[in-house]
Structure 1
Amino acid sequence: MKMKRSLLLPLLTPVLLLAGCNQEPEGQPVLRTEIGSGVAEDIPGQAPQNKADDTGAIEETEQSERASVCRDVTFEQVLLTHCTADPAIHRIVTALSGADGKPYRSLSKLASSRGADAKSVAFAVNGGMFNGEGKPIGYYVQNRNRTKELNRSDGPGNFHLMPNGVFFGTGGTWQVHTSDYFYRMIGDRPDFGTQSGPMLVIDGKLHPKIADNGPSKAIRNGVGIGTDGRAHFVIANAPLSFGVLARFYRDELKVPNALFLDGNVSALWDPATGRMDAGAALGPLIVIENRE
């Protein structure tokens, strides 16, 4: 979801547009929440996503012959889909634009652009926050090419609810860390990277400003790295609070660090099951590919 979520707004207040950080172009109206206060603003015209395309999958790609690495689970009475990427059999890349240089803005367009290569995709998800043009507002690296520097500025919304963080990796080593840790400790440019926020779990503890179960509910997703190096992508199939999503990572997956990717535009493409979420325009994408 684009530049996000204003603070301390009453329920069902009028639409409020926020300019992106560093004078980024202004985004479209979106659901904005404050994760610590329990105050939510439900902006008209931005319904929860996770609805399939009319066909359930795009015509240009065939359903994968591989078994899905995603499974449905229920946690605290909320249905989630949990997808696991294993560095032994998967690689991860970020994707933003097609050959024309224009952001894909949807998983279906990403799939169409890949043609026959789409068969190598295990799954794909939205990959961080973005401005009105679909471009990342934080650190972004694709194929070792950095197109956006680390964003450590102050500002409104969930992206700036510090600490935020970076999901990044080189080869089969994938990591999630706070942006401050990344700034201090990571010197080499990774193969891929995307910045989002806030962090959900930090060194095994919940983000200090996340309420236990605030009234703000949305379709949300995140990513966390287990102690075995596997990446855990989780997307809600029904609206849930930040607290529920964060506790799933901490208590069930037991990952030391997990990062919020987005809310209310969250989407999953799972070729093995034919799932292709559609809805609001997206920005950066994370693609998990099968190693051949």
Structure 2
Amino acid sequence: MRRSVPLIALSLVALAACDQPAAGDPVIRTDISGEKGVEIARAEQAEAKPSASPTPTPTPSETTAPEDSACQPVRFEDVVFTECVADPAKHRVAMVLGNPPYRSLAKYSVSRPKDAPRVAFAMNAGMYDGEGKPIGYYVQNKDRLQELNRNEGSGNFHLKPNGVFYGTGSTWRIRTTDDFYHTVGDRPDFGTQSGPMLLIEGKVHPEISADGPSKRIRNGVGIDKDGKAHFVISSRPVSFGQFARFFRDVAKTPNALYLDGTVSSLWDPARGRMDTRADLGPLVVVEFKE
């Protein structure tokens, strides 16, 4: 289920499931299975019965990593997460959308030229509208297709601070939207805006509760002190709080950004994993430097 992005802020406590918008209407991509917005501290006492969420394709092995695999399963607080690490020394990062948008990792995979660099892994990355087009800042191959979105609104994307994952060459960064607006002058090679931020300078987003009632399969990205990008997806529904703690305590990324929930998908060629959701938006693709 999708949410329209309003022009003015709405009360978070009034968030509820809404009807499918017409094609092209902006939506918040975190309410597909009945999620009632972000779990925040004041919502801890609210009654919530999360609807069933589809589980991603399991990794073939949780013990032996295939050669050249950038992804590995990690158990944290009784949940297995898949952590895929992009290393600037070995990988390049690019955003991919398609015209019209691919909407699935499988469709994108078959569109790649046979002589294209090998894919280390790919994920969905960023909020989008009913047609799969980004609703926030989006840069692909240095071409800006969508401007920075600083509007107020409801839903996870607008829970400030949200942020931008971007990079040029082998330098990748995550900044809050306001920080990006005030400090980044040159257009990067790639960029995608999403929200909320999970970690800000090592601290969990102030509006995220420790373990709220809303549980979803989630994916996100964080940058560690060595400049590596950690892309993480949960194997089963988790709260925002638990997801943020993974980045803080396991990935050890001072800044981390939520990418999406419920539709969260991963393509990991080395392990033979191809999640099959067909309603995605922007994709982030990590390739080997060869």
What TM-score bracket applies, with the shorter chain setting the length?
Answer: 0.7 to 0.9
Instruction: Return the letter of the residue paired with 1:242.
Output: F
Query: Does 2:83 correspond to 1:48?
Result: no
Q: What is residue 74 of structure 1 aligned with on the other side? A: 75
Query: Does 2:237 correspond to 1:239?
Result: yes
Runs of 4+ with >6 A deviation? 40-44
Structure 2 residue runs without a partner (length 5+): 6-10, 61-65
Q: 1:258 to 1:18 in 2, by over 3 A?
A: farther
Instruction: Return the letter of the residue paired with 2:151.
Output: S
User: 2 CA distance for matches of 1:211 and 1:19?
Assistant: 29
Q: What SS does structure 2 have at the residue aligned with 1:102? A: coil
- What TM-score comes out, normalization by structure 2 length? 0.86
Deviation at 1:34, TM superposition (A): 2.3
Q: What SS does structure 1 have at the residue aligned with 2:152? A: coil
Instruction: Return the letter of the residue paired with 1:85.
Output: A
Query: Does 2:36 correspond to 1:17?
Result: no
Deviation at 1:215, TM superposition (A): 1.4
Deviation at 1:123, TM superposition (A): 0.3
Instruction: Return the letter of the residue paired with 1:30.
Output: I
Identity rate of aligned residues, in percent?
54
User: 2 CA distance for matches of 1:66 and 1:117?
Assistant: 21
Q: What is residue 207 of structure 1 aligned with on the other side? A: 205
User: 1 CA distance for matches of 2:260 and 2:218?
Assistant: 6
Deviation at 1:16, TM superposition (A): 1.1
Q: What is residue 289 of structure 1 aligned with on the other side? A: 287
Given that 1:25 and 1:131 are in contact with CA atoms closer than 8 Å, whether structure 2 keeps it comes out as yes
Instruction: Return the letter of the residue paired with 1:78.
Output: V
Q: 2:102 aligns with which of 101, 104, 119?
A: 104
Q: 1:40 to 1:223 in 2, by over 3 A?
A: farther
User: 2 CA distance for matches of 1:248 and 1:90?
Assistant: 23
Deviation at 1:48, TM superposition (A): 2.5
Deviation at 1:255, TM superposition (A): 1.1
Q: 1:149 aligns with which of 140, 147, 150?
A: 147
Q: 1:194 to 1:42 in 2, by over 3 A?
A: farther
Q: What is residue 256 of structure 1 aligned with on the other side? A: 254
Q: What SS does structure 1 have at the residue aligned with 2:112? A: helix
Q: What is residue 61 of structure 1 aligned with on the other side? A: none
Structure 1 residue runs without a partner (length 5+): 57-64
Q: 1:195 to 1:142 in 2, by over 3 A?
A: same
Q: What SS does structure 2 have at the residue aligned with 1:111? A: helix
Deviation at 1:264, TM superposition (A): 0.1
User: 2 CA distance for matches of 1:119 and 1:273?
Assistant: 17
Number of equivalences: 272
User: 1 CA distance for matches of 2:20 and 2:175?
Assistant: 26
Given that 2:21 and 2:130 are in contact with CA atoms closer than 8 Å, whether structure 1 keeps it comes out as no
Q: What SS does structure 2 have at the residue aligned with 1:92? A: strand
User: 2 CA distance for matches of 1:215 and 1:280?
Assistant: 27
Deviation at 1:138, TM superposition (A): 0.2
Given that 2:3 and 2:18 are in contact with CA atoms closer than 8 Å, whether structure 1 keeps it comes out as no
Instruction: Return the letter of the residue paired with 2:39.
Output: I
Q: Output aligned runs, 1:25-44, within 5 Å.
A: 25-27=25-27, 30-31=32-33, 32=35, 33-36=37-40, 37-38=43-44, 39=46
RMSD value, Cα: 2.7
Q: 1:191 to 1:42 in 2, by over 3 A?
A: farther
Q: What SS does structure 2 have at the residue aligned with 1:272? A: helix
Given that 1:3 and 1:137 are in contact with CA atoms closer than 8 Å, whether structure 2 keeps it comes out as no
